[in-house]
Amino acid sequence: MPMGESIRRFCDLLEVLSCFQDYVEELQHGNNELIIHRDVSTGNLLIFERSDGTTFGRVMDYDHAKKAKEKIDITSYIRNLSALGTQNLSTSSPEVKRRLIRLLIEDKLKREVDDEVLHRALKWLFNTDDAANYIIDVAKFTGLGTNASVEPLCLSDMGWDEKDKVDKWPDFANRKHGPGERTGTLPYMSGDVIARKTLHIPPGFKSPPPFVHQAIHDVESLFWVLVNLCLTRKGPGAEMRREELDNDSPSHTRLREIVDELFESKNDETLKEAKKSRHEQWELFGDEVVAYFHPYFEPLKPYVLKWWNTLILGYRFRGEEFYNIHNHILRILKDAR
C-alpha cells in the first residue's frame, strides 16, 4: 500500500467528512469482527489516494487492539449488571410499564409515542421512570421536544433506525489485553479511559457500571481528533497551524488555554482533569469549546455538537446510542456532507 498522508493534511472540508466516515466504518467493521482498536489518534488516521485521484481514510496501527472471544446476548449482559447490584429492576409487567411511560412522555412532550419506541427504550432500561426520561432526553437532543407535530414519536424521529437492532455484543470484559489498564494516545483518550473508570452513572444504576473499553470509547477518541483539527488548524494543507496558538496576544488567551488543557499540556493530570470536566459539564461544550473553532470549520459546528450529544446520550443511558454508536455518527457525518 502506498504511503498515506496524515489527516492534518486534508485538502478541504468534504475530504475531512469523507475520511472520518471511512474511519467510523472501519471501527464498526472491527467491532463486528470482535476487534477494538484502543489507540485512535491523529497519528493513526491517514488519507490515501486511489488511482482515479479520489481519496479515502484508513485507521492504522492495531498494536494496542484487543479481540474478544465471542459475542454475548445484550439482554443477558444488561441483566447480569443488575445481578451485580448495579441497576434497579422493576417488577411491573411490560404492559403496565408501557402505559406508565406513555403517560409520563405525553405529560412532558405533549405528544403521543409509538409502541416500538417504548419497547426499544425498555430493552435498555427496566425502570419506567428511567425509560421515560431516556425517551424525553433523546427527543430534546434531536429538537423533537418542542416539535408541535401531532404525529406520534416513532423510531425514525428518535434516530433509532429499525435496521440498527443489536442483539449481541463483543464481550471485551472477558478478554485480556496488554500491560496496563489504560491504552491509547493521552490527548485523544475518551473520558472514561483516561480516568480508568466510568464517569457517567446511568439512571437506575446504584453505582457506576464496571469500566470496560468499548466501541464508544474509540468513537470518542475519533471525536477528539476532529475537535483538535477544528481548534488548531486554520484550513487545509501541511503548515496550517493557527498563529494565535503561538503568540502572546491577550485576545486569544482562552483559545490557547483550551488547546493546552485538552491536547498539548505536558502534565498528564491536566489532560485528565480537562476531559473529566468536559464530561461533568457536558452541556457547556458548545460555548466553551466549539465556539473557539477556527472560522474555516464553521460549517461543522452543529454536526460536532450532534456528535458530542450522541456520545453523552450513550454514556448517560447505555442504550441505542451506546450500542449503535457507529451508525448514529455515520448518519451525522452523512448529513454534514
**The model's pTM:** 0.92
Average pLDDT over residues 222-241: 95
Q: How confident is the model at residue 181 (pLDDT cuts 50, 70, 90)?
A: very low
- In whole angstroms, how large is the CA radius of gyration of the chain? 21
- C-alpha to C-alpha distance for 110 and 115, rounded to whole angstroms: 16
109 pLDDT higher than 90:
no
Q: What pLDDT, on a 0 to 100 scale, did the predictor assign at position 191?
A: 94
Are 203 and 133 a contacting pair, CB within 8 Å? yes
Q: What pLDDT, on a 0 to 100 scale, did the predictor assign at position 171?
A: 82
Q: Which three cell numbers stand for residue 69?
A: 472471544
- C-alpha to C-alpha distance for 24 and 269, rounded to whole angstroms: 29
Could you read off the pLDDT of 183-203 as tens digits, one per residue?
678 999 999 999 999 999 887
Are 17 and 337 a contacting pair, CB within 8 Å? yes
Q: What pLDDT, on a 0 to 100 scale, did the predictor assign at position 145?
A: 55
- C-alpha to C-alpha distance for 133 and 230, rounded to whole angstroms: 33
- What is the percentage of the chain residues whose pLDDT exceeds 70? 89
Q: Which three cell numbers stand for residue 274?
A: 480537562
Q: What are phi and psi of 203, to 5 degrees?
A: -55, 140
Q: How confident is the model at residue 92 (pLDDT cuts 50, 70, 90)?
A: low
Could you read off the pLDDT of 201-226 as tens digits, one per residue?
887 777 788 888 999 999 999 999 99
